[in-house]
Amino acid sequence: MKCSIETLSKMTALLVADFEEQMKTSTSTSVEIEQGLRETLQRIGQESLGQLLTLKDEHNQTTQEACSCSQSARRISRREGKLLSVFGWITYRRSYYGCAHCHRYWYVLDEEENLRAGSASAVMSRLLA
């Protein structure tokens, strides 16, 4: 996936305008500007990834899910999970299902995407290896 040129242009313009405004009232070195941009882009990545995983769950999950025991499980709630991504720790929400027949409880999104809450994401794991 890639960000569109239009969105990239808008984001760049917003960032530059924000930093330019700050430069009017304080003296900033090029090092401070570079570090500020790096931290800002990292936070955008954290927020965006968390929101996108949450949206993926909202778009794909329903109140009922087929259980491996062939019975129907119901969504109990939507719960928060944390992942160590390349942007740092992110927070997302996903549906939690339970089967009254076999008492299996699981997160469909985590299983489908091979996410292990509390651990490193697949991309981060590759970087750490």
- The binding site for Zn ion (CB under 5 A) comprises 67, 69, 71, 99, 101-102, 104
User: Smaller CB distance to Zn ion: residue 19 or 106?
Assistant: 106
CA distances from 18 to 4, 14, 41, 68, 94 (A): 21, 6, 13, 52, 34
User: Smaller CB distance to Zn ion: residue 85 or 110?
Assistant: 110
DSSP state for residue 106 in the 8-state scheme: E
Closest distance of CB 65 from Zn ion, Å: 10
Closest distance of CB 100 from Zn ion, Å: 8
User: Smaller CB distance to Zn ion: residue 74 or 82?
Assistant: 74
CA distances from 98 to 14, 27, 55, 71, 83 (A): 44, 57, 21, 11, 22
